[in-house]
Amino acid sequence: MGTVMITRTPGVEIPHPLPIGCPPDLPVGCTTSLAQPSETEPESGQPRGTLLPTPNGSELSQAFGSPWPETPERSPCVAGVIPVVYYSILLGLGLPVNLLTTVALARLAARTRKASYYYLLALTASDIVTQVVIVFVGFLLQGAVLARQVPQAVVRTANILEFAANHASVWIAVLLTIDRYSALCHPLHHRATSSPGRTHRAIAFVLGAALLTGIPFYWWLDVWRDADPPSTMDEVLKWAHCLIVYFIPCGVFLVANLAIIYRLRRRGQSGLRPWVGKSTAILLGVTTLFALLWAPRIFVMLYHLYVAPVYRDWRVHLALDVANMVAMLNTAVNFGLYCFVSRTFRATVREVIHNAHLPCTLGSRPVGTAAEPVLKPPGLPKGTEL
């Protein structure tokens, strides 16, 4: 076989394959030809080429001392179908578990009439609304099924419901924190002022305030589609979201939990047993999980606002996808925490499951077969009729 020699003709560009990371439609910043050789050629006579910029190549740009030109192309979704599978599993498992939790907490609240059970019941109901509105309608229906091809008015109306449900869930946890702080640090005042009616009014106030604070988020911009620099309204809404959902509640959690722990330590140092109730243990677990699971989303949101937008950088896009998945996990983990801490809650859950299974067992009997009475009159000889 012969050898094919390729000679370079001056002025003629040599075709070159696409650089790594460039999509087939050739966004701005990618090129299909080598750069023109410099005036001084190497002694070997081979043409000298320059490295071609690739999208999101900040590491290479730092190595060469100059930033790459930004590409207006939309950042790809690196996660693929993983978020869809994750949210489907989360909704399929979390929604039934939260419904079971709601029934169990409703029974405990009706029996004991304790404020903590009412707050946990409202918290679980808010988590159910969050799963339906944010996970199902927002991520699965709008994002996966309809591919965000939804009228703008519908999307913005859904934004109000999503943020309202989010605010309600967080601030009901704040109510639970204040209630436990009052019960441990000011027990006499708590006993004098605590009542089911007062608890119901506090929950109703928080739900109404959550709906009102969700209205301004009608103008929330979609971070996946926002290609323009953030406006003043966008910056205000982003900071309002971070403050209402994370920074202010976490400040309340930190101060109240530190006061509770300090009170328990003082009780232990004075010779008394530092008794920690089930409600207090649940409070510490709920607030700690919330602070840990929501921290990545808040960090990525501020990073998107001031450093690199989600629209332009696939790494920020991926980080926001992962942060959202971690944050939504907070709506499904409380059931495990309640079961781990409270023996009463576990017994109530078993009771609910048993009562739900019993009608199915009785309904599966053959026609004409009657169940024997549980209690039989004692002392009656055989053959004697009542």
Q: 13-49: buried (b, 16+ CB within 10 Å) or exposed (e) per residue?
A: eeeeeebeebeeeeeebbeeeeeeeeeeeeeeeeeee
Q: Of 197, 204, 207, give the one whose Cα is nearest residue 126.
A: 207
**Do 75 and 23 contact (CB within 8 A), yes or no?**
no
C-alpha to C-alpha distance for 57 and 6, rounded to whole angstroms = 32
Cα 369 to Cα 105, 327, 375: the distances in Å are 36, 52, 18
pLDDT score of 154? 86
Averaged pLDDT for residues 365-386: 47
Write phi, then psi, for 52 (nearest 5 degrees). Answer: -90, 135
Q: Is the dihedral of CA 354, 360, 362, 365 positive or negative?
A: negative
Look up residue 326 and give its amino acid.
V
C-alpha to C-alpha distance for 151 and 51, rounded to whole angstroms = 43
**Do 172 and 206 contact (CB within 8 A), yes or no?**
yes
**Do 289 and 337 contact (CB within 8 A), yes or no?**
yes
**Which tokens in the block code for residue 232?**
């003043």
Cα 95 to Cα 122, 135, 353: the distances in Å are 15, 11, 16
Which residue's structure tokens are 């400040």? 251
pLDDT tens per residue across span 41-99: 444 444 444 443 434 434 433 433 333 334 445 566 667 789 899 999 999 999 999 99
Does residue 11 surpass a pLDDT of 80?
A: no
Which residue's structure tokens are 């004697």? 384
pLDDT score of 164? 96
**Which tokens in the block code for residue 259?**
């006061």
Q: Where are the alpha helices (DSSP H) in the chain?
A: 58-64, 82-112, 115-130, 152-185, 187-193, 196-214, 232-242, 248-269, 278-306, 314-328, 334-341, 343-363
**Do 142 and 150 contact (CB within 8 A), yes or no?**
yes
pLDDT score of 70? 46
Look up residue 305 and give its amino acid.
L
pLDDT score of 210? 96
C-alpha to C-alpha distance for 323 and 301, rounded to whole angstroms = 9
C-alpha to C-alpha distance for 295 and 365, rounded to whole angstroms = 53
Lowest-confidence segment of 24-33, 37-46, 118-127, 148-157 by average pLDDT: 24-33
pLDDT score of 37? 42
**Do 348 and 108 contact (CB within 8 A), yes or no?**
yes
pLDDT tens per residue across span 200-230: 999 999 999 999 999 999 999 877 666 667 7
Q: Of 111, 260, 233, give the one whose Cα is nearest residue 179.
A: 260
Lowest-confidence segment of 131-145, 235-249, 290-304 by average pLDDT: 131-145
C-alpha to C-alpha distance for 129 and 143, rounded to whole angstroms = 18
Q: Of 342, 329, 344, 331, give the one whose Cα is nearest residue 282.
A: 342
C-alpha to C-alpha distance for 291 and 326, rounded to whole angstroms = 11
**Do 296 and 322 contact (CB within 8 A), yes or no?**
yes
Lowest-confidence segment of 128-132, 149-153, 357-361 by average pLDDT: 357-361
